């Protein structure tokens, strides 16, 4: 089994071809969920699934499933995959690598004439990034029963569109009931999106747990006024308050120490004019920690700071939750299976924590789940320069192949 690896050139070629869909001038990819580019990416995937003889199904939230039959009727399938959507300034590996490697694993099983006892399902989940529609990991969350389908379909995006309407528009409002496919296990292959594996010279990360995520949108209401005639002591400056929040969030994370991280990723001022004191500031705060109690403590400290800031500055400060997911501990037997598969091929491997959210996080709610990481050059992701060398892409796909063979019998 160790010698029967996938062909790196075919995997790289598949990734390169798919990266042409939504390609940006700087070498990146922009395929926001349910956009025309996302539709084209889905169409390409479905065509490739049919070429491999997979049975293709689309559920009512738009998740795409391609099934390779097993020899045992009624056996729960082994599922693998990830997502096709990207951030606006994305690269060619985040998400799509896990889907394309799964296709190559299926093709290699066919070439080796391997019949598995359990079916193998290749999945591409809807709206993992959560850029156009929130929350992120939406398709897998709905699949796992964590978000009601009607609520997901009624989600309004940052461009004012309704998710359910866009699903219909691009032709991916499927008829399969959400959650209909209940996997025996779920394995997701992904680039690390961080610097650890590269720094340590290792090929494979066996992801044992995943940070909890807290997203919120904060709106600060002050009063716009003339920038030249209003004394500093009499201002109700929403922009200055937003700056204080940004500094507080950074200092909170530094004070808590690793693995606490905190980010203000979006900040907008109104009326956004050079000579007018901002009347309103809208910003997002992303808090993450592997410990649920610590994450709750960070949220509480931020809430208390916002309350003090409003009182001291004469402002109105409101917070709206965008997404909230507790930390996840993956199935330890499955993590050990990944470690053993990597070791059998002679690949350096270590256990790791994922700082990013992934579909495996949601699938862990309904069955054993774990993740396989490969290095990201320079630790870059969500960036057009995102890159992983072909050899390392193939190594991750080989581990996935071996794990699928073991799990599917």
pLDDT at 378: 95
pLDDT of 355: 82
Tens of pLDDT, residue by residue over 198-226, are 999 999 999 999 999 999 999 999 999 99
Task: State how far the Cα of 183 lies from the Cα of 78, in Å rounded to an integer.
Answer: 6
Nearest to 223 by CA among 244, 242, 238: 238
Residue 184 Rama label (left phi>0; alpha psi -120 to 50; beta): alpha
Per-residue confidence (pLDDT) for residue 3, from 0 to 100: 58
- CA 392/CA 205 separation, integer angstroms: 12
The DSSP letter of residue 160 is: S
Please report the DSSP string for 24-40 in residue order.
Answer: -TTS-B---TTSHHHHH
Longest dimension (CA), the chain: 80
> From CA 186, how far away is CA 333, in angstroms rounded?
12
DSSP 258: T
pLDDT in tens, 2-47: 458 999 999 999 999 999 999 999 999 999 999 999 999 999 999 9
pLDDT confidence of residue 2: 47
Which residues make beta-bridge pairs with 125?
83
Residue 173 and residue 167 in contact, taking contact as beta carbons nearer than 8 Å:
yes
At 142 the pLDDT is 98
With a CB cutoff of 8 Å and minimum separation 6, the contacts of 329 are 208, 209
Residue 112's pLDDT is: 94
Give strand pairing partners of 268: 282
Mean pLDDT of 276-289: 97
With 60 as the cut, is the pLDDT of residue 92 above it?
A: yes
What average pLDDT does the structure give for the chain? 96
Pairing label, strands 212-221, 78-83? unpaired
Q: pLDDT tens across 305-320, in order?
A: 999 999 999 999 999 9
By C-alpha distance, which of 303, 283, 285 is closest to 239? Answer: 283
- Within 13 Å, how many C-alpha atoms sit on residue 158's CB side? 13
Separation CA 361–CA 209 (nearest Å): 9
pLDDT band at 376 (very low <50, low <70, confident <90, very high): very high
Residue 335 pLDDT greater than 90, yes or no: yes
Tokens 């070498």 label which residue? 27
Mind giving me the DSSP string for 224-242?
--BTTTS-GGG---HHHHH
pLDDT at residue 1 greater than cutoff 80: no
pLDDT band at 357 (very low <50, low <70, confident <90, very high): confident
What pLDDT is stored for residue 75 in this prediction?
97
Find the mean pLDDT for residues 340-347: 98
The percent of residues above 90 in pLDDT, for the chain, comes to 96
């Amino acid at each position: 089994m160790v010698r029967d690896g996938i062909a790196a050139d075919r995997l790289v070629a598949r990734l390169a071809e798919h990266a042409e869909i939504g390609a940006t001038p700087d070498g990146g990819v922009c395929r926001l969920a349910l956009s025309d580019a996302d539709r084209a990416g889905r169409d390409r995937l479905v065509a490739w699934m049919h070429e491999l003889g997979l049975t293709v199904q689309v559920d009512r939230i738009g998740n795409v499933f391609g099934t390779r039959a097993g020899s045992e009727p009624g056996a729960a399938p082994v599922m693998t995959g990830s997502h096709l959507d990207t951030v606006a300034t994305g690269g060619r590996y985040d998400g799509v690598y896990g889907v394309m490697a799964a296709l190559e694993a299926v093709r290699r099983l066919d070439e080796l004439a391997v019949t598995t006892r359990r079916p193998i399902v290749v999945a591409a989940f809807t709206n993992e990034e959560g850029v156009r529609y929130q929350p992120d990991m939406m398709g897998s969350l709905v699949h796992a029963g964590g978000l009601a389908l009607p609520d997901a379909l009624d989600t309004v995006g940052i461009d004012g569109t309704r998710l359910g309407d866009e699903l219909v528009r691009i032709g991916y409002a499927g008829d399969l009931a959400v959650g209909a496919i209940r996997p025996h296990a779920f394995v997701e292959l992904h680039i690390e999106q961080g610097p650890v594996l590269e720094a340590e010279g290792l090929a494979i990360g066996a992801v044992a747990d995943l940070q909890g995520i807290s997203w919120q949108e904060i709106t600060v209401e002050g009063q716009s006024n003339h920038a030249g005639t209003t004394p500093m002591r009499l201002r109700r400056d929403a922009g200055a308050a937003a700056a204080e929040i940004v500094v507080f969030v950074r200092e909170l994370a530094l004070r808590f120490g690793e693995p606490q991280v905190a980010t203000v990723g979006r900040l907008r001022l109104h009326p956004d004019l050079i000579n007018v004191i901002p009347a309103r500031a809208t910003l997002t705060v992303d808090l993450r920690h592997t410990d649920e109690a610590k994450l709750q403590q960070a949220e509480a400290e931020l809430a208390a700071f916002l309350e003090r800031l409003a009182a001291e500055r004469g402002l109105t400060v409101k917070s709206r939750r965008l997404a909230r997911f507790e930390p996840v501990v993956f199935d330890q037997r499955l993590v050990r299976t990944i470690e053993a598969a990597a070791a059998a091929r002679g690949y350096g491997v270590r256990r790791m924590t994922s700082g990013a959210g992934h579909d495996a996080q949601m699938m862990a709610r309904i069955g054993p789940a774990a993740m396989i990481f490969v290095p990201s050059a320079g630790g870059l992701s969500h960036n057009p320069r995102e890159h992983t060398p072909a050899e390392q892409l193939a190594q991750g796909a080989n581990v996935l192949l071996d794990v699928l063979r073991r799990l599917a019998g």
